[in-house]
């Protein structure tokens, strides 16, 4: 009886293993796509802010209600975060740091707006989910971190 069951399951289980291996091979591409998608969105937002700095300052003073920070400080910090962190994220250099930093920017953006449209909230939720995945699992195999970090570790090891 057990032999028949094992024989009946062997073929589907073998195909399941092939499918899992194929999906595993897509992980670096999926991580890169997530980093590029979120990084692009935040970088464009930062570019919009520096194009018209007076309007940006006015928005931070009147429209955005950033908790704990005065508008004159929140505007440059938020803009810097939206310009620097996405570059790090897309390159996969300090990927977890960049993902956590952009998560803070994302959360502050949602909390700062008086009224968040459902579509905008859905987009922020998607970005937050992708950023959480990058923060938890790292930037993936196709990242500069994978190239640079082993060299840094070797450099920092004490000479014996």
pLDDT in tens, the chain (160 residues): 578 888 888 899 999 999 999 999 999 999 999 999 999 999 999 999 999 999 999 999 998 888 889 999 999 999 999 999 999 999 999 999 999 999 999 999 999 887 778 889 999 999 999 999 999 999 999 999 999 988 888 888 875 5
Indicate the pTM of the whole model: 0.89
With respect to residue 6, please indicate whether it lies within any of the assigned structural domains: no
With respect to residue 2, please indicate whether it lies within any of the assigned structural domains: no
Q: Per residue in 97-114, is it b (16+ CB within 10 Å) or e — as a string?
A: ebbebbbebbebbeebee
Q: How far apart are alpha carbons 31 and 141 in whole angstroms?
A: 8
Contact 95, 138 (CB under 8 A): yes
Q: How far apart are alpha carbons 1 and 62 in whole angstroms?
A: 74
With respect to residue 67, please indicate whether it lies within any of the assigned structural domains: yes
What pLDDT score was predicted for residue 67?
86
Beta strand extents in 3-137 (DSSP E only): none
Domain range enclosing 148? 31-156
Which residues 6+ apart lie within 8 Å of 130 measured at CB? 34, 37, 38
Which residues 6+ apart lie within 8 Å of 50 measured at CB? 56, 79, 83
What pLDDT score was predicted for residue 160?
52
With respect to residue 135, please indicate whether it lies within any of the assigned structural domains: yes
With respect to residue 20, please indicate whether it lies within any of the assigned structural domains: no
What pLDDT score was predicted for residue 68?
87
Which residues 6+ apart lie within 8 Å of 108 measured at CB? 66, 67, 78
Q: How far apart are alpha carbons 33 and 44 in whole angstroms?
A: 16
With respect to residue 26, please indicate whether it lies within any of the assigned structural domains: no
With respect to residue 21, please indicate whether it lies within any of the assigned structural domains: no
Q: How far apart are alpha carbons 127 and 99 in whole angstroms?
A: 10
Q: How far apart are alpha carbons 49 and 160 in whole angstroms?
A: 51
What pLDDT score was predicted for residue 145?
95
With respect to residue 9, please indicate whether it lies within any of the assigned structural domains: no
DSSP state of 158: P
State how many domains the chain has: 1
Which residues 6+ apart lie within 8 Å of 58 measured at CB? none
């Amino acid at each position: 009886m057990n032999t028949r069951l094992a024989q009946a399951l062997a073929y589907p289980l073998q195909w399941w293993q092939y499918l899992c291996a194929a999906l595993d091979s897509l992980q670096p591409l999926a991580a890169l796509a997530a980093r590029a998608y979120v990084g692009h969105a935040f970088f464009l937002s930062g570019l919009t802010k520096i194009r018209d700095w007076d309007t940006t300052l006015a928005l931070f003073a009147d429209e955005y209600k950033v908790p704990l920070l005065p508008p004159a400080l929140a505007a440059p910090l938020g803009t810097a975060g939206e310009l620097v962190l996405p570059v790090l994220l897309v390159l996969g250099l300090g990927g977890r740091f960049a993902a956590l930093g952009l998560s803070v920017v994302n959360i502050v953006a949602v909390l700062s707006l008086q009224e968040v449209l459902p579509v905008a909230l859905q987009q922020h939720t998607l970005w937050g989910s992708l950023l959480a995945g990058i923060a938890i699992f790292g930037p993936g195999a196709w990242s500069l971190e994978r190239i640079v970090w082993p060299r840094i570790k070797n450099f920092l090891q004490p000479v014996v």
